[in-house]
Structure 1
Amino acid sequence: EEISCPFDKRRNGIILGEGASVIVIEDEESATERGAKIYAEVNGIGNYFDAYRTGKYDPEATGLKASIKAGIKNSGLGIRDIDYISASANSVPDQDRLETKAIKDVFGKYAYNIPVSSIKSMIGETFSAGGLFQIAAAIGSMYHGFIPPTMNYEVREDECDLDYVANKSRITRINNVLINNYGPGGSNAAFILSKWN
C-alpha cells in the first residue's frame, strides 16, 4: 500500500495531491483601518538559492540551513522563540533526512524541543501550492492552538529522530511558526509567521 509517511523509515517517495489556497497579505495600517480580522503576521523571510544540480538535493542542506538562519534573523526572534516547525518533508528519503539535518544544524540540541510536522502526510505533494497550504495550516494552528500531526509515522529512522508529532494533533499554544519549503535543484525558503496579538 502506498502512503505518504514523511520521516518514517518506510518512506519511498511522494504521493500526489492537488488543491489551491489563497492568502491575503495586507499591511498592518490598512488592515487596521478597515477593521479586518488579522490572524497572523509575516515576521521573517529567508531564501537562498544554492544552485545545486538539477533534480538533486545538496547533501549538506546548505541552502535550507542558510534560508532558516536568514528567516530567523529577519524576524528578530531567537531559536528558542520558534514554537513549531512546519516541514516541507514529502516522504522522499533524501529530502526528509536533509530537512532533519538542517533543523538540527541550525537549532542544535534545542531542535529536540521543537515539534516538527509535515501536512504533506495528509494532503500529498502539491508542488507550488504546498507552501500556501503550509501557511494556511500554520495560521489555523496558531489561531486554534494545535499542531497538525505527521500521519503514518510508525517506523523510526536513526537520522530522522526529532519530535514529529506522530499520528495525532497536539493541543498547545503557538506564537511563532517556522515554515520550510524547498526543492531539488537549489531553491530554499523559510517563512516565519507570528500570531497576531
Structure 2
Amino acid sequence: MCRCPWLDQSKPDYVAYHDTEWGVPVLDDNTLFEYLTLEAAQAGLSWYTVLKKRQHYRQAFAGFDPVQVAAFTEQDAARLLQNPGLIRNRLKIAAAINNAARFLEVQQEFGSFARYQWQFVNYQPLLNQRQTLADYPARTAESDAFSADLKRRGFKFVGSTIIYAHMQACGMVNDHSIDCFRYPQLIQQVASLDLRSALGLTSP
C-alpha cells in the first residue's frame, strides 16, 4: 500500500496517524485547539516527537478544552513545566495558555473557531498535487494570511510554517501524495462535504 513519502512506515503509531487523521477535514473546535497547541509545541522538533507525547498533553491540558486552559494560572504553568510527559519549554507552555484565551475570543466573534479558520481556504479544502518530498512547501500564501491574522489577534507560536502544518493536519489542504492511498479517499470524502452548511453558514 503506497503512502506519503514523508512517512516513516517503521513506526506503527505514525502510520495510524497518517492513515486515519492527517488531512481529514476538522470542524470540531476542541480538536482544532488540540492541533494548534501540538503544532506550536512542535516548533523546532519533529511531529513524531510531539505525537508520542499527545496523550500526556491531553491529560495535562484538560482534554484541550480552551475554557479550562485559558483559566490556567502561573502555578499551573509551573506545574506543567515539571511534567516529564510534555515538552518543557516555558515559552511554548505560556503560548498554549495565551492561545486558549485568544481562541475563546475568536469563538465569540465568529461563533466557532472552525468558521474563522476555514475562511482562509474559502470553506473548501485545497487539492494539491504532491509527488516527492521536494514538492511539499514549508508555507503558502494561505498559511501566510492565516498566520498573519492569528498574530494580529495575539496568538503565539503561529508562524506560517507552523500554520501550514496545522492546515495539512486538519484537512484545509489535501497534501497526501497523488500515489498515496489516502489521496483519492479524501477527495471522495470532501466531494460529499458541504462545509458552509456544516458550519452553519449561508451560501455566498
Structure 2 length-normalised TM: 0.24
Relative CO higher for 1 or 2, CA cutoff 8 Å, sep ≥ 6?
A: 1
Q: Indicate the structure (1 or 2) with the bigger Cα radius of gyration.
A: 2
Q: Which has the higher helix share?
A: 2
